Amino acid sequence: MSTTGTTSSPASPKGPLGRARSRYGERAVQVVLVAAALVSVATTVGIVVSLVPPTIEFFDAVGFTEFFTTQVWAPLFEPPRYGVLPLVTATFLITVIAIVVAIPLGLGAALYLSEYAHTRTRKIFKPVLEVLAGVPTVVYGFFALRFVTPALQNYLPAGLQPDIFNALSAGLVMGIMIVPTVASLSEDAMSAVPRGLRDGAYALGSSTRLVAVRVVLPAALSGVVASFVLAISRAIGETMIVAIASGNKPALSFNPLDAMQTMTGFIAQAGSGDLPTASLDYKTIFAVGALLFAITFLMNVLSARLVRRFREVYE
């Protein structure tokens, strides 16, 4: 008489053991992702912690009024003057020139790639455009100094020719540098617009131009605005282009043909010198860096608010 035995099979993935493994796996992934997010938070906290003590020591010796209202910046000369307005003015003037160049070119490139270009053309043009984002900024700086500035001197009328170091060439080349930022992010936002919106507009007899300007662009406005603000932040924080092309002349001027020094240009110049670390001159680096950090932080807060506002409108 034979008996039929029953053999026990291993627990299936859907059993208690499988669910426990899945739960532990999800928890491990969550821990890794939280750690990755905390790296950026810890980096930001570390930057603030490194900037605050020297900045406080600087403002104990130099008042806020002198720092923000004096129109002469000469911390490394005798007598020292600590008015940051020339650096701030140069920074925003060059940024404005860059944005005037980058926003029309970047937005136009994004509209072309999203609405007009063939799929094969898009696959070629977009990577080529994004190559510009990988070019070292020092190369852009020498391009501005050796090509753009001589071109401006040769082709602008007499009396409008810039100095060897000038804000105009730095702003123009910086605008070219941030075109890929505006174009790539804006094109991604436009590509995410549902196809049904386009089809509905075409069904009503709209042209490609009307669909791009009246349908796609408003629907992707949150991403487009975010690309603008990110490009502005990138321009404000750029160092090598302005250090090479705009010069190191911290004079208050609104003429883009003059040599100027930006906040990042001063930090690069003073940080590469031999200033004693306990001196007040050395602490000016941290004061200017803290101001630059605050401006960039406010830009990011503004970007988040604008994106949230337009996303509520169009979603």
Domains held by the chain: number: 1
Q: For residues 281 and 91, what is the distance between their CA atoms, to the nearest angstrom? A: 21
In a domain, 291, yes or no: yes
pLDDT at 281: 82
In a domain, 40, yes or no: no
Q: Degrees (nearest 5) of the Cα angle 91, 93, 95?
A: 70
Q: What is the DSSP letter of 144?
A: I
In a domain, 178, yes or no: yes
In a domain, 100, yes or no: yes
pTM of the complete model:
0.83
In a domain, 73, yes or no: no
Strand-pairing partners, residue 81, are: 74
In a domain, 64, yes or no: no
* CATH number, position 114: 1.10.3720.10
In a domain, 191, yes or no: yes
In a domain, 6, yes or no: no
Q: Each residue's pLDDT tens digit in the chain (315 positions)?
A: 444 444 444 444 556 666 666 777 788 888 888 888 899 889 888 888 888 999 999 998 888 888 888 888 887 777 888 889 999 999 999 999 999 999 999 999 999 988 888 888 888 888 888 788 888 899 999 999 999 999 999 888 887 888 889 999 999 999 999 999 999 889 988 988 888 888 888 888 888 888 888 888 888 888 898 889 889 988 998 888 998 998 888 888 888 999 999 999 888 888 776 677 777 888 899 999 999 999 988 888 887 787 777 664 444
Phi/psi at 3 (nearest 5 deg)? Answer: -115, 145
Q: What is the span of the domain harbouring residue 205?
A: 79-314
